[in-house]
């Protein structure tokens, strides 16, 4: 199965993806993927150019810029938690995103679950959508728990 991956970041190269367990862990042959890497920018026009034609965008940095670009282009958006903001539903700017302290393991589990939800969205449309969300917290009894995002009042 061939697929394209666009990575927009500040310290990533396409070669780094060959060791990314979140992609290979779901049965994808990452070395056969077409990788494109772009530098992270804050300019909305440039971000729109970079994500044009994407099926999904997952952003862990510059989330406000990517959320706005995705909304304008009609692309499902996932921030640094596990939920999708769809173009025709609740907006990223309408809810409080919980503050999560990421350590290496929490971040890795979060990324793996984001890949799983992305595959569910693309394959069946049956993914977690805001206001529902999953968060990973290894300091609590339930390591992964579902929450309802609160709307700003």
Q: Is residue 135 part of a domain?
A: yes
pLDDT at position 16 is 54
Token pair 């609590």 is at which residue?
A: 140
* Residue 29 CB partners (closer than 8 Å, separation 6+): 1
Confidence of residue 5 (pLDDT cuts 50, 70, 90): low
> How many domains, in total, are found in the chain?
1
What is the per-residue pLDDT across 122-141, written as a single tens digit (0 to 9) for each?
888 899 999 999 999 888 77
Q: Is 131 part of a structural domain of the chain?
A: yes
Find out whether 77 and 112 touch, Cβ atoms under 8 Å: no
CATH code of the domain containing 76: 3.40.50.720
Question: Residue 132 belongs to what domain range?
Answer: 41-148
Q: Nearest to residue 37, comparing CAs of 16, 8, 66, 17?
A: 8
State how far the Cα of 48 lies from the Cα of 63, in Å rounded to an integer. Answer: 13
What is the pTM assigned to this prediction? 0.81
Mean pLDDT, rounded, for 46-57: 90
pLDDT at 44 over 50: yes
Q: What is the pLDDT of residues 62-97, one digit of tens each?
A: 999 999 999 999 999 999 999 999 999 999 999 999
């Amino acid at each position: 199965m061939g697929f394209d991956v666009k990575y927009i970041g500040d310290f990533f190269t396409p070669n780094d993806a060959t060791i990314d367990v979140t992609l290979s862990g779901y049965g994808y042959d990452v070395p056969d993927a077409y990788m494109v890497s772009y530098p992270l920018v804050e300019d909305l026009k440039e971000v729109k150019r970079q994500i044009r034609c994407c099926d999904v965008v997952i952003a862990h940095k510059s989330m406000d810029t990517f959320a706005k670009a995705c909304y304008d282009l009609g692309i499902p958006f996932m921030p640094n938690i596990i939920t999708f903001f769809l173009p025709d539903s609740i907006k990223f700017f309408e809810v409080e995103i919980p503050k999560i302290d990421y350590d290496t393991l929490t971040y890795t589990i979060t990324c793996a679950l984001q890949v799983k939800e992305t595959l569910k969205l693309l394959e069946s449309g049956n993914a977690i959508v805001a206001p529902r969300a999953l968060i990973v917290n290894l300091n609590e009894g339930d390591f992964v728990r579902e929450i309802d995002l609160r709307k700003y009042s």
